[in-house]
A and B are shown apart, each in its own frame.
Chain A
């Protein structure tokens, strides 16, 4: 069956460098964020919920998603489709982990009667998808992809597929994470994944690990024809995507970025585009020695060097949003299309002599004529995700 085109008509974002599209876009320009973790500052959940009680009965990870989804709907206007044709696909790396952590302590220190009746519905990985569906009465398929740091990219791709395959007319797609808890930070620290100096400097020769971030990104996707019919402003298009596995190691990528190559090539094939059409790569670029090296090698293998696509990682200002990263980055790519500008890789200062030469945007933003772009995410467990995003028309 012919697949339907997928328009992006609304965006919402909650990130350490800014809440809402304007603040987020400003934050992407720098300066670098500081701290042991890059947390979202000044977030108030209540305005995004019907009442304060509903907000209290959700985990922070759900609150971020609810906020981002509401922004996306407000930007696009709620489409008047059959609710059973409206879906939700909101992924996460580890769901309501702060709830789980605090309830384990509540049980240990205060006994079973002090455990919240909402513990399970707050911690479950589908809580954000379910709560967003309730907020907007989206009653079609709702699901959540949990593929660690690739969850956001996979969720947007899976959400888009609901429209491509004619199962939905509109989908709120994205992901969310709020894992800045003492035990999670310690676990990532002891894994030696985090930068000992708390510096997120993607592709820099002095990079030594990532800095944990958090937040959410949500895109309102609609069937292109229906979005045109209702007069919605089309901000961008989801052209395709891919999901592959390294099947190699739980935390390290395949040498030479072979898994990333396979994933990017599959995504281009899915979108029906040759590599030469891609002029911008929004990198996973976590600032770890292994990821950035493998990703740079993979980008060169897939796209060559002449001409080379522009490459940016926004993790110098967002940190690594884990499951939220992919959707926050997808939002940034669509914003780049609207602004005609690619944000710089904040934090980068010195090229790595061992890395193949990529055309990294750094120091200042670069003007760009919107064209098809890709956004990469690679997760612990060897999960690879690539999304192909095109500009809207008109």
Chain B
């Protein structure tokens, strides 16, 4: 178990190419995404997140994405009525990479004295967490945790533990990323993992890589005790969290998948569940050759032939890097409310070399009876993470 106390989600906020705001996002999950993931959240109004154009200029896009998700999540959760020292934040991101790049150009073209005094506060990965804490006066632990593409899932696990251990009553948890600039996109292209067709096709025979995108997701996690006391709406419960490290290669998952499986096994043990209890698996599903092959085998080995439905959402949300895990967890919690499993956009034909896992295909979202679900992510650096979410009972 996570700790001595139960932890539930009572508020959600999301900004994603699939759709921004919970309603639009869900439409993107069961229908067409609002924007092509490669274009990012094309209609996002960063300026609307600030009181003045000056504040906007002093901030990075990832901070604006975080502020937007925080505003929705806190509004959704309703009045918390807590000492601000009992409310924490874990917001993960690689940082304000766009701002830093612009300042390299300013530095080289106009001189060192013209570099923005806000370059560091905008770039530093804790910038978004800090801005959110300042805007809402939250004085509990305020941290950014980084494990690349598995950051979001680990952020939720780490945040849930703060509550389970009694260190916080509420934690605003999740992450975001705004990596769409020429330098970072080229960097991802050069890893050899990015899709040349610009489409993420998770577990599909025609997949050719991930699509770098952007977005942010935040969840209000709360002790069950406090949520019940204030009569909060409960989306679901965080039952368990596991993380392990391949210690194999900096970008390629260990093809054997043993250590990655360990993360799921730890999460299941943490939750006190058996593999057969899991009826949905929200996949990392980046659409790369190596990840999807490792992950398909892992799902088959852990869950067997009568395994859970597999939802792979990166066809609609793209790969929002540090933001992915939280956005995917939000989709899972919404699937509990809507009693519908989202479709795996761009998944048509399962790679025939894979074991027969039950991927929910493109356009075929399906009704389901909400049940315990695993949401997993695997990252550059070999960080494996898994979260067990369940309808509240």
A contacts, CB < 8 Å to B? 1, 57, 83-84, 87-88, 93-95, 97, 100-101, 103-105, 107-108, 112, 115-121, 123-127, 129-131, 133-134, 136-148, 151, 154, 158, 165, 182-192, 243-251, 259, 262, 379-383
Contact = CB atoms under 8 A, between A and B. Distances in A.
A83 B245 CA distance: 9
A108 B243 CA distance: 38
Given A94-B95, A115-B187, A381-B127, 17 more contacts: A95-B95, A100-B183, A107-B186, A120-B191, A127-B250, A130-B250, A130-B383, A139-B244, A141-B244, A146-B144, A187-B103, A187-B120, A243-B142, A245-B142, A247-B142, A250-B121, A383-B130
15 contacts: A95-B125, A100-B97, A103-B187, A105-B104, A107-B182, A115-B186, A119-B190, A120-B191, A120-B380, A124-B380, A143-B158, A187-B116, A247-B134, A247-B136, A381-B124
B335 interface: no
Most chain A CB neighbours (cut-off 10 Å) among B4, B247, B380: B247
A247 B86 CA distance: 13
A380 B139 contact: no
A143 B150 CA distance: 10
Interface string B297-328: 00000000000000000000000000000000
Interface residues of B, number: 78
B85 A244 contact: yes
Contacts of A189: 112
A139 B107 contact: no
Interface string B187-228: 111111000000000000000000000000000000000000
B325 to A, nearest CB: 13
Most chain B CB neighbours (cut-off 10 Å) among A165, A192, A247: A247
Interface in B320-340: none
Given A115-B187, A146-B145, A186-B107, A381 B121 contact: yes
Contact of A133 (B117, B143, B247): B247
Most chain B CB neighbours (cut-off 10 Å) among A112, A118, A129, A186: A186
A171 B182 CA distance: 37
Nearest to A192: B117
Q: Which 9 A-B pairs have the closest CB atoms?
A: A381-B130, A130-B381, A245-B142, A125-B146, A186-B112, A187-B119, A119-B187, A243-B141, A146-B125
A97 B120 CA distance: 11
Contacts of B125: 94-95, 125, 146
A245 B245 contact: no
B126 interface: yes
B152 interface: no
A339 B322 CA distance: 43
A189 B114 CA distance: 11
Interface in B85-141: 85, 89, 94-95, 97, 100-101, 103-105, 107-108, 112-113, 115-121, 123-127, 129-131, 133-134, 136-141
A183 B245 contact: no
Given A143-B243, A183-B115, A382-B133, A121 B139 contact: no
Contacts of B245: 87-88, 130, 133, 138-142
A107 B136 CA distance: 39
A142 B248 CA distance: 13
A101 B123 CA distance: 12
Nearest to B90: A145
A336 to B, nearest CB: 27
B147 A112 contact: no
Given A103-B187, A187-B119, A144 B146 contact: yes
A382 B380 contact: no
A251 B112 CA distance: 21
Contacts of A248: 134
A84 B262 contact: yes
B82 interface: no
Contact of A139 (B113, B124, B144, B259): B259
B247 A107 contact: no
B84 interface: yes
B100 A121 contact: no
B139 A246 contact: yes
Most chain A CB neighbours (cut-off 10 Å) among B123, B143, B190: B143
Nearest to B137: A247
Nearest to A379: B126
Contacts of B141: 243-245
Contacts of B138: 245, 247
A139 B247 contact: yes
Contact of A144 (B89, B118, B134, B145): B145
Given A144-B146, A182-B107, A246-B139, A117 B243 contact: no
A45 to B, nearest CB: 16
A293 B126 CA distance: 24
A266 to B, nearest CB: 8
B379 interface: yes
A119 B148 CA distance: 14
Nearest to A99: B187
Contact of A1 (B4, B144, B148, B186): B4
Contacts of A88: 245
Interface string B235-259: 0000000011111111100000001
